[in-house]
Amino acid sequence: MLRTLTKLSRASTTVARNGELRSVSRRPYLIASSPPFRLIHDGVDHSKANPVAVQMINYALSHARSQKSDESFAQGMLVLEQCLSNQLSEGKDPANENSKGMVLLAMSTLLSERGDFHEAIERLNRVQDLASSFLGLRVAAFEALVGLHLELGQDDTSSVVADVCLEFLRIQGTGCSGRDFEVINARAKAVKGLVELIKANLESADAFFQGPQADKLCNGSVALSYGEFLHATQNFSLAKEVYQKVIEGGSETKDFGDPYALAACNMTVEEVILGAMCSLGQLEAHLGNFGDAEELLTRALTKTEECFGSHHPKVGVILTCIALMFRRKAMQERSSSLLVQEGLFRKAIELLKAPPVESEDAGVNIDRRDMVALARGGYAEALIVQENRKVQGEKMKSWAEAAWRNRRLSLAEALELDSNSKLPVIDARISRVL
C-alpha cells in the first residue's frame, strides 16, 4: 500500500507534464478523469481538479470495493487520507479545492456504504468550507446530504438542507447561465422534489419537477426522482419511459450524459441505476407484468450483491420488493406462494437488522424504518392466513403498524393489492417508501 502511494506521488510530475490520466478502474465509480460540468469565469475553468488526486481517488475506491472487507476499506481510506493531506498543502485555488472536495465525496461514499452515516455526513459538511470550489461539487455534496438524512429518516433536516442548497445556488449562481448551470440547478430542484414526495406534499413536489423535459432527464438522479413522482401519481407510461432512460443511460453516455457526474453516497451512479431497475420492476408488477418484473428485480438483486456484498441491508430492500411482487402475483393469479414470500420476507428482515418483535417499543430508532415495517408487515400477512401461525402473525402485524411512519399511505394501503388510489413506490437509493 505504501509503495502504491509512493508510485502515485512520483507519477505527479509525469502526469502533469503529459496532461494524461490513465484509468485505474474498470467500472464507473465516483470520479471521472475530467468533471462533466464546465463553468468558466474570467477565462478560468473552475471545474478542473488535480489529475493525480483524481487517479488516487479512483484507485482508493476501486481497492476499497475490491474485496468488501474491513482491510480493503481501511486501505482505501488510507489512500484518500494521504491524498487529502497532499492537497491541503497546495493552497486554495479552484483546482486544489476541487481535488479536496472530490476526496471528501469519495470518503463519504465509502463510509456510507459501510453504514457509517454520521462520519459520511461530517465529510460532506466539510465540502461546503471549500469556498473556491466548483458549484457542481458543492451541489453534489448537498444532494448526498439530503439523501443520507432521508435514509436516516430525518426528513425535516433533509428539507432544510435542500432549501439551503437552493438558496446557495440562487446567491452563488448570480451571473451563471448556460446548459451547465441549468443541469446543476435541476439537481438542486429535484432533490427538494424528492423530499416533498417523501413528505407526501405531491403538489409541492410537482412544482419542483416542472420545467422542460430535457431538464428532468439531464442527470440520472434527477430523472429517477422524477420517474418516482410519476409512478406515485400513476402516470405509468411516462414513468416507465423515464426509468428505462436512466437504466440505458448508465452504459450509453452519448444519449444520457456523463455517468461520471460528480455524486456521492446513495446518489452515486451505481445507486441510481439500481434504484431505477428496482422501481421499474415494481412498476411492471403494478401493471401485472410479472415476468418482466421478476427479471428486473432479479437483475437489481444481482447487481446490489455485486456492489455491496450479499449481506448488505440494501439487499434486504430489493428482497422486500421481490417478496411484494410475488404477493401481488399470487393474489392476481389466485395461486399460492406463501413459502416463497415467507422466505424472502424473513431474509429481508434479517438483512435489514430489524429489532426483535418482542421489543415493546416499536418507536425506538430503527435504521431504514420504512423497509423494516413493510417487510415485517408483509411477513405478518403471510403468517396470518396460516391457522397454526395466526397468533404469531398478528403480533408481528401490530409491531409493524406501530413502527410505520409513512405520511402518504398506511401500512394496510401499502400492502393492499387492489388499491387504485395509492401505490407504494420503494426508492432503493434511500431505502424509503414514497
Q: Could you give the CA distance from residue 175 to residue 357 in angstroms, rounded to a whole number?
A: 56
Most confident of 94-108, 128-142, 272-286: 272-286
Lowest mean pLDDT among 115-129, 162-176, 415-429: 415-429
C-alpha grid cell for residue 178?
A: 448556460
Q: Tell me what pLDDT residue 93 has.
A: 76
pLDDT band at 3 (very low <50, low <70, confident <90, very high): very low
Q: Tell me what pLDDT residue 36 has.
A: 36
C-alpha grid cell for residue 250?
A: 448508465
When pLDDT is averaged across residues 407-415 and rounded to a whole number, the result is: 92
- Give CA separation, 96 vs 131, 193, 407, in Å: 11, 32, 43
Segment (H or E) for 433 = strand 432-433
Residue given cell 423535459 in the structure block: 213
The distance from CA 393 to its chain's CA centroid, rounded to whole angstroms, is: 32
C-alpha grid cell for residue 111?
A: 463510509
Q: Tell me what pLDDT residue 363 has.
A: 56
> What is the residue extent of each domain of the chain?
1-30+48-133, 287-433
Of how many residues is the chain composed?
Answer: 434
Alpha carbons within 13 angstroms on the beta-carbon side of residue 149 total 24
* CATH classification number, 287-433, choose in 2.60.40, 2.70.98, 1.25.40, 1.20.120: 1.25.40
What does the DSSP 8-state code read for residue 426? E
pLDDT band at 46 (very low <50, low <70, confident <90, very high): low
Q: Could you give the CA distance from residue 124 to residue 128 in angstroms, rounded to a whole number?
A: 7
Residue given cell 448551470 in the structure block: 181
pLDDT at 258 over 70: no
pLDDT at 432 over 70: yes
Q: Tell me what pLDDT residue 4 has.
A: 43
> What's the pLDDT tens digit per position in 329-387?
988 877 777 888 999 999 999 999 998 887 655 556 788 998 999 999 999 999 998 88
The two beta strands, 40-41 and 432-433, are unpaired
pLDDT at 413 over 50: yes
Q: Which residues are registered as beta bridge partners of 432?
A: 427
Q: Say if CB 23 and CB 33 are below 8 A apart.
A: yes
> CB within 8 A of 412, min separation 6: which ones?
none
List of E strands, 35-178: 40-41, 44-45
Q: Say if CB 138 and CB 168 are below 8 A apart.
A: yes
More confident residue, 3 or 157: 157
Q: Could you give the CA distance from residue 151 to residue 68 in angstroms, rounded to a whole number?
A: 21
- Give CA separation, 422 vs 161, 163, 193, 413, 418, in Å: 28, 28, 19, 7, 10
Q: Tell me what pLDDT residue 25 has.
A: 33
> What's the pLDDT tens digit per position in 309-319?
999 999 999 99
More confident residue, 361 or 273: 273
C-alpha grid cell for residue 414?
A: 401499502
What Rg do the C-alpha atoms of the chain give, in angstroms? Answer: 22
> CB within 8 A of 49, min separation 6: which ones?
35, 95, 98, 99, 102
When pLDDT is averaged across residues 299-327 and rounded to a whole number, the result is: 95
Q: Could you give the CA distance from residue 18 to residue 16 in angstroms, rounded to a whole number?
A: 6
Q: Tell me what pLDDT residue 408 has.
A: 92
When pLDDT is averaged across residues 195-213 and rounded to a whole number, the result is: 93
Q: Say if CB 280 and CB 240 are below 8 A apart.
A: yes
Q: Could you give the CA distance from residue 141 to residue 228 in angstroms, rounded to a whole number?
A: 22
pLDDT at 18 over 70: no
What DSSP string describes 71-107?
Answer: HHHHHHHHHHHHHHHHHHTS-SSHHHHHHHHHHHHHH
pLDDT at 49 over 90: no
pLDDT band at 48 (very low <50, low <70, confident <90, very high): confident
pLDDT at 260 over 50: no
pLDDT at 304 over 90: yes
Lowest mean pLDDT among 211-225, 271-285, 370-384: 211-225
What does the DSSP 8-state code read for residue 354? P
Neighbours of 152 (CB within 10 A): 19
